[in-house]
Every structure is written in structure tokens, then in C-alpha cells.
Amino acid sequence: MAWQTQASPPAQPGPVSTPIGSPGPATPPVASPAAQATPSTQGASGSVEVAGAPVQTGQYNAEPMGFYTDTTVCIGCKACEVACKEWNQLPASNGGANLLSGLSYDNTRRLDGEHWRHVRFIEQFDESRSQGRWLMMSDVCKHCVQAGCLEVCPTGAIIRTEFDTVVIQSDTCNGCRACIPACPFGVIEVNPVNNTAMKCTLCYDRLQAGLQPACSQACPTASIQFGPIRELKGRANMRLEQLQGQGVDQARLYGADDSIVGGLNSFYLLVDEPEVYGLPANPQLPSRNVPTGAGLSALGAAALGVLGAVGLRKHRMDQFAEEARASAASGAVDGEVRGG
Amino acid sequence: MGSLVVLLADAPSDTFYTKSPHWGWLIVFYFFLGGLAGGSAFLGGLIDLFGARQDRFAARIGHLLAAPLIAVSGVLLIVDLNRPERFWHMLIQNNTGEPMIKYWVPISVGVWLVSLFGLFSALAFVGVAAEQGWLGGRLQGLRTLREGGIGKAISALTALTGISVAGYTGVLLADTNRPLWGDTTLLGILFLLSGVSAAAAAITLLSGRRANRETLHWLGNMDAVSSLLELLVLIVLVVSIGSVVREVWGNAWGVLVALGTVLAGILIPLVLHWRPNLLGRMSVPSAAALVLIGSFCLRAAVVIASEQS
């Protein structure tokens, strides 16, 4: 299977450890012993014995890997949601009892700590419902090249892996929830079972073993495609040209170039404005506000400090003047006494 | 469907596509108490460094206020974590044992600021307690914490970390992609000004008549200047991100800002400041109490209204 192994090098040495878009991670990324011991130069397939039968496995190069999601072929089967839940052992909400949205056939409704995949259903119908279309999109963490969550995480729990993906280490996260509002896509939430922030890991554990993520493997229409980003971009551009050639003028790629937070390692082919899919048109890093915000605060503090000090200085000068007067007066009295 | 999606398509800002962090009332109280503590230490430190001897009573009130408030703030912050037993992961990397700090992240810097401010304000507190003769025996010697070079250094560090704590909380909110918080860079200075005016009010309230008249006058001026600037910043904020403000504060929270913060917390106290005879003896304490209420309303409206957006 083509996706399971990388054709030979060019290999990048060692795990990628520098988060792009921030000065650097406070915690070095944790690459599994397997990934470290088998440098990315390994392009060839290996084989392991499972119950006596040889099973083909492979190792991925340490290069940006991700998803290209072609929403035009999504049929809304939610196999990705189920596969994700199953592989990652994510609990069912509400004790497994049905919780219907009452809005559409979409009862998952959102990405959160226990839903790392969510198939969005967008119904575009006119009032008579005689004309319309369904848009479907399997949503997931975008594994941003400049990741807001990684940037703000104050414990170093969020790391960038050798595959350029973004992973939250549950044993480090203390549930401060700073990553939740930092994400421009509203992906992260607290998982109620372990009370830490959780999201898609792009199946980091599977990638390290040379397996593709559970969701893309389960996708029956190849709407979710997994692979090296450079390869996926090529595929996406070909599909875009094909659709535009067929007259689908609204077709566009979202996050395939670096115009959106440095690029999305999970990017999309859409056939309408991003907002229609619940995606922000111009997502940004939260840190954009910090230098100005901190500078203005410092200015305010300095202004109050100077004003306060000037006001107090006058008190001190008055005090000194009074003391001087008092001592002068007492000096005069002394003089008079001596002179007399 | 997708009433959700349809609503989002009309959103005034990309910040409406994000999720709230569930920073609720614990954080509101932290922002209020932390701002009050920081402001009190700032004013206390200013008096220590630049004031006259007769101003020192108010400085002592400031230091006595700051340390317990920041201690309570620390507890609130830890309790608010989903995994409180791991609070130290923000100070020490749990997997390497090395210090954990990201100088470009307000929360990370803030954790250290709160810790350092806690330390310095505790030293100032102990010094004041010794000064007042509340500590027995050899502990009386701790009054050196308020004297000479050591005293000045502690006052300066307490004031500096204190004012930083009062201001960083707003910058922390700006370091998000949430409605209102991530749409402006003014929350830091807004919280800082509001913290200082609240602290001036609290010190005034607690000093009663025991403080020097000149000192009370200075505190009143600090309160008035901070309040005026706060009003100015609030106006600029509303004008600069009007569509977001309409969405986030176009409800009961907006009413709270208008009545609680602007009218009760800023305008009425300013009137009482310039016309102290209006309520006679009650003018000063009433104005101070209203400033404190306004400061709390501001934080509640900024935090909870965005949470609900």
C-alpha cells in the first residue's frame, strides 16, 4: 500500500523539534524510542510476525504528514468518527444514550475532548425545500504549522512531533484550558474522563508504527486522505483543477498554502465559503495581540507610577521643608539662649 | 441545519468560531482580587519609595491587603485547574525537572509573576507586622524588612510585580481567539487601571480617618486619574470593536458594564471626588465602595460575557 511506506529518501535527519511560529518549545518533543531508534532514513518496509503470519509494516519519514480532506466525496457515513473513537478508546457521551441535536442528522455537533472527528452536515435548502444540497465535511484538528494551542500551553504539554503534527501529552496537561480559546478553530476541549485537554493526535501512535490514522483508513470514499503533505498538496491541486474544469467555480482549497496560520497539515477542498463550513476565513495566532497589549499595559503602569511619585514627592518636600523650618526655629532659639 | 453554521456566517469576527475555556466565577474573583492585591502593593510601594513619613500608614494598609489577597488568588487559580494536583507543571517541567517558562505567553509569565509577587508581598507583610509590634520576641527584628536598603528593595519589587499582576490578566485574555478578548489589545491596560483605582479605594476605605489627610487626598487623586483613564480606554474599546461589543455586551452584561462599571464605578465616584460635600462624611467611603463594585462588574462582564458568546 502506497501510503504505508515512503519511497526512499530524501530523508530529514531526526525528529523535528522546533515548533514553527513560536520561539521554541519549552519541552522537547517526545519521540517514541521506536521513532528515535529508527531514523527517518528508513524508507523500506519491514515485516513483523503476528500470530505466525508476516504482516507488512513500514516507517514513515520524519517529514510533515497530514490529511487532505476532499469534502466533495464525503457521504456523511461517520465511519471516521467511529474509527477514531474505537482506536483512541474515547468514551461515548451521555453514557452512550442517544443525545439528538434536533437540528439535523448531525448529532455529534462539535469537536471536543471525546470527539476528535466530527462530520459536519450543512444543509443548503431554499424555504420550500424543493431545491438544495448537502455539504459534508469531516472536521478534525488542523495540526497548524503555526499552532496557537502549542504556542500558549504553559505546561509544555503540547508538542510538535517529527511528523509536524501537534500532540497534547495528557500526563503533562494540568487542565488550565488556555489552549481551548487559543485554537482559532474551536477544536480542543477537556476530556471528562481524565480531565485534561484532548484532541486528535493524528494517530501519533499509529504513525510511529508505520500505520495510517484510523479515520483515513476507515474512510470508504477517500474523502480523508493521509500522506506526506507535499504529496497531498499535489493531489489536491489536481482535484481542484478537475472540479474547476467541470464548472465548479466555488471549489477552493482551505489551508493548503501558508496563508492560513502558516498552513494546515489537515487541509480541505471546499465548494463554498469557509464560513459555510464553520471555518474562520482568516484564523490567526492568539499571540498577535500580546506585544501591543503588554506594551500598552506597561505604558499605563509607567504613567500611573510617575504621576503617583510626583504627587508623593511633594509630600516629602513639604515634610523636609517643615523639618527644616522646625530645626531653623529651634536653632534660632538655641542661638538666642547662647547669645543671651 | 446548521443554525449554528448560519449564525457563524454572520459573525462579526473570526473569534466567534472558537470555544470558550470555561473560565468562570473563580477566574472573575481571581482577576478582581489579583488586581486589587497588585494595585495595593503598587500604591504601597510608591508611598514607601517616594512618600513622606506621614504617608506610611496607608502604605502599611496596602501591604497588609496585598499578601492575603494574592494568597487567596493563588488558591483560586489552583482550584480552577481541571487537574489541581498538577499545578506545579506550570513552574517546573514535569518530565525534565527544569523550570517551565515561556516568556512569550502571558499565562506562563503570569504564573511566575504571581509566585514572585506572593513572595515579595509576604516579606512586606511580615515587615509591616513586625513594625506594628504584632510579632513577639526575636521576630520583632523582622522590621528590618521595612528599613533601609532591604526595605526599599522589597517595596520596589513588590510594587513592580504587583502592578504586573494587575495588568497581565488582561493581556492573558488578549492571548486568545475568543470574542472580545482576542478582538482588542486594550484589556491589559483596562484591568491595570481598574486594579489601581480599586486599590486606592480599598486603602482609603480601610484607612478611615487614621490616615493622613494629605495621603487620603493623594489616594483620591490616584483613584480619580485611574478611573478617568479607565473610562477613556473603555470608550476607545467600544468604538474600536463596536460590532463585537454589540454581540458580546448587547445583553444584560452590557447593562452591567454601563450601570455597574461606568455609572456606579466611575462617574458617581468622580462626582463625589470633586463635590465631596454631596454626601457629607459618607462621600469618601461611598465613592470607594462604588469603585470596588465597578471594578468587579468590569471583570465579570469581560470574562463571563465572552464565555457565553
Mutate to test the interface with A, among B6, B96, B176, B183 (most CBs of A within 10 A): B176
Consecutive H or E run containing A198: strand A196-198
| A152, A274: one domain | yes
Shared domain for A79 and A60, answered yes or no, is yes
The predicted complex's ipTM stands at 0.95
% helix, strand, coil for chain B, step of 5 = 80, 0, 20
Check if the beta carbon of residue A136 is closer than 8 Å to that of residue A74.
yes
Q: Nearest residue of B to residue A278 by CA position? A: B5
Do residue B86 and residue A175 have CB atoms under 8 angstroms apart?
A: yes
Instruction: Tell me: do A301 and A257 sit in the same domain.
Output: no
Rounded to 5 degrees, what are φ and ψ at B101? -150, 135
Distance from C-alpha of B286 to C-alpha of B294, rounded to nearest angstrom: 12
Q: Are residues A161 and A12 in the same domain?
A: yes
**How far apart are the C-alpha atoms of B268 and B25, rounded to whole Å?**
26
- Nearest residue of A to residue B160 by CA position? A301
- Domain that includes residue A338, residue range: 295-340
For residue A169, is it within any domain?
Answer: yes
Query: How far, CA to CA in Å, does B300 sit from each of A163, B29, B296?
Result: 42, 8, 6
Q: B102 and A316 in contact by Cβ < 8 A?
A: no
Find out whether the peptide bond into B276 is cis, omega within 30 degrees of 0: no
Q: Do B39 and B299 touch, CB atoms closer than 8 A?
A: no
A39 and A151: one domain? yes
Contact A154 B53 (CB under 8 A): no
Question: What is the tens place of the pLDDT at every residue in A67-111?
Answer: 999 999 999 999 999 999 999 999 887 667 777 888 788 888 899
* Whether A69 contacts A87, CB under 8 Å: no
What residues in B contact A277, CB-CB < 8 Å? 5
User: pLDDT class for A334, splitting at 50, 70, 90?
Assistant: low
Task: State the smallest CA–CA distance between residue A7 and chain B in angstroms.
Answer: 35
- Report the first-to-last Cα separation within chain A, whole angstroms: 117
Place of cell 497531498: A232
Extended beta strands in A5-147, E state: 46-50, 53-57, 65-70, 118-125, 132-139
Does A333 share its domain with A268? Answer: no
**Could you tell me the domains of chain B?**
21-307 (1.20.1630.10)
Cβ partners under 8 Å of residue A338, min gap 6: none
Chain A residues with beta carbon closer than 8 angstroms to that of B17: 184-186, 278-280, 283
In order along its 309 residues, chain B shows pLDDT tens digits of 334 444 456 788 999 999 999 999 999 999 999 999 999 999 999 999 999 999 999 999 999 999 999 999 999 999 999 999 999 999 999 999 999 999 999 999 999 999 999 999 999 999 999 999 999 888 989 999 999 999 999 999 999 999 999 999 999 999 999 999 999 999 999 999 999 999 999 999 999 888 899 999 999 999 999 999 999 999 999 999 999 999 999 999 999 999 999 999 999 999 999 998 888 888 999 999 999 999 999 999 999 999 998
**Cross-chain residue pair A181–B185, CB shorter than 8 Å:** no
Q: What whole-number distance in Å separates Cα of residue B238 and Cα of residue B254?
A: 11
Name the nearest CA neighbour of A89 among A197, A222, A7, A191: A191
- By Cβ distance, the residue of A154, A186, A312 closest to B17 is A186
A148 inside domain: yes
**Domain membership flag for residue A319:** yes
Write out the DSSP string of A117-158.
-EEEEEEEE-TTSSSEEEEEEEE----BSS-HHHHH-SSS-E
Same-domain status, A81 and A173: yes
A275 and A158 together in one domain: yes
Q: Do A252 and A328 have their domain in common?
A: no
Q: Is B92 helix (H, G, I), strand (E, B) or coil?
A: strand
- Do residues B90 and A173 lie in contact, with contact meaning Cβ atoms separated by under 8 Å? no
Interchain proximity B104–A22, CB inside 8 Å = yes
